[in-house]
Amino acid sequence: MLKKQQSKLVVANWKMHGCLTSNDVLLHAFTQRAVTLEPQVRLAVCVPYPYLAQAQNRLTSTSIEYGVQDVSAHTHGAYTGEVAASMVAEFGATLAIVGHSERRIFHMESSELVAAKAQRALESGITPIICVGETLDERQAGKTNSIVYTQLAAVLDRLDDEADVARLIVAYEPFWAIGTGQIPAVQQIKQVYGAIRAQLMEKAVNIHVPLLYGGSLKPDNALELFSQSDIDGALIGAASLSAVDFLEISAAVSIALSENQDDSK
């Protein structure tokens, strides 16, 4: 039997935003609030590289996890501007987003490159959050499932060991929903989730890989999404730059989890 994830993970993706002062304000608010949430709510923040030491300083003795938004596909060497997963791990980071659509589209990252990045993260003890998702044109052409399948297959094909599959997190983020205020219907998300789940089962039958959703998540749509038991969490961009919004979203997760627990009694 596939073991269901009992917790939900809420990841702030700060993208290229922030400064030491504003980060401090946000991290302070997040840590204050984290202790009031259901223990199964996991909060995490993925920061720009220069702020990794700040995240380490502020978050090490808290329950909030932290990580980065990309890692190199290489272990080390003459790759100017690149940052290795092992370097990130030295700062206590546990998560790395890989294959975000802003990197696939604006930096031409192929699924094979993303897969190599995921592998480098795993080798350094970092959990890769693999982003997959279609553009609007691809959705309208009926290609959503095949695009997502190909993106994820590149990663799964590289992993021989089920133990590595068990350490993955997958985030479904339709590109057309990112930063646009448009959000897919719950049924559309579930349909893609069903396909991803089937693909993961082909590779590792007994493993529950957490599936996150990302794209225009806000306090007013969070509860509906998190109430779906198959949505294991979220990747949050714009709303994670506002302490009020991010904490309201986290509170919605907490409510959804406590309602789920009541239902299962």
Ranges within 200-239 binding ligand PGA (CB under 6 A): 214-217, 235-239
User: Is 179 marked as binding a ligand?
Assistant: yes
| The residue type at 204 | A
Q: Least distance to ligand PGA from the beta carbon of 10, Å?
A: 11
Give me the phi and psi of 236, to 5 degrees please: -120, 120
Q: Is 125 annotated in some ligand binding site?
A: no
Strands 211-214 and 169-172: parallel
Applying CB under 6 A, does 189 fall inside the site for ligand PGA? no
**Between residues 181 and 194, which has the closer beta carbon with respect to ligand PGA?**
181
Per the annotation, the verdict on 65 as an active-site residue is: no
216 is in an annotated binding site: yes
Residues 238-257 binding ligand PGA (CB under 6 A) are 238-239
Rounded to the nearest whole angstrom, what is the least distance from the CB of residue 201 to ligand PGA in the complex?
A: 26
Size of the site for ligand PGA (CB under 6 A): 13
Q: How far is CA 87 from CA 76, 97, 163, 210, in A?
A: 9, 15, 23, 25
Nearest to 100 by CA among 190, 251, 212: 212
Q: How far is the CB of 177 from ligand PGA (least distance, A)?
A: 6
The least distance separating ligand PGA from the CB of residue 67, rounded to whole angstroms, comes to 13
Per CB under 6 A, 68 contacts ligand PGA: no
On whether the CB atoms of residues 194 and 215 are closer than 8 A, the answer is no
Nearer to ligand PGA, 129 or 204 (CB): 129
Please check if 250 is assigned to a binding site. Answer: no
Q: Is 100 a catalytic residue?
A: yes
CB 7 within 8 Å of CB 254: no
Distance CA 61, CA 36 (A): 16
Can you tell me the distance from the alpha carbon of 39 to that of 47, in angstroms, rounded to the nearest whole number? 23
- Measured from the CB atom, the residue of 121 and 204 that comes closer to ligand PGA is 121
Residue 124 is a binding residue for ligand PGA (CB under 6 A): no
Q: What burial letters (b/e) apply to 209-230, b meaning 16+ CB within 10 Å?
A: bbbbbbbbbbbeebbebbbeee
Let me know how long the chain is. 265
* Active-site residue, from 38, 138, 173, 208: 173
Looking at beta carbons, which residue is closest to ligand PGA? 237
Residue 77 is labelled as binding a ligand: no
Q: How far apart are CA 42 and CA 7, in angstroms?
A: 7
From the list 8, 5, 7, the residue with the least C-alpha distance to 217 is: 8
Question: Are 116 and 73 a contacting pair, CB within 8 Å?
Answer: yes
Site for ligand PGA in 161-180 (CB under 6 A): 173, 178-179
Catalytic residue among 100, 102, 109, 134: 100
Rule CB under 6 A: which residues touch ligand PGA? 13, 173, 178-179, 214-217, 235-239
User: Which residues participate in the annotated binding site?
Assistant: 13-15, 179, 216
> What is the set of active-site residues?
100, 173
User: Which residues participate in the annotated binding site for substrate?
Assistant: 13-15, 179, 216
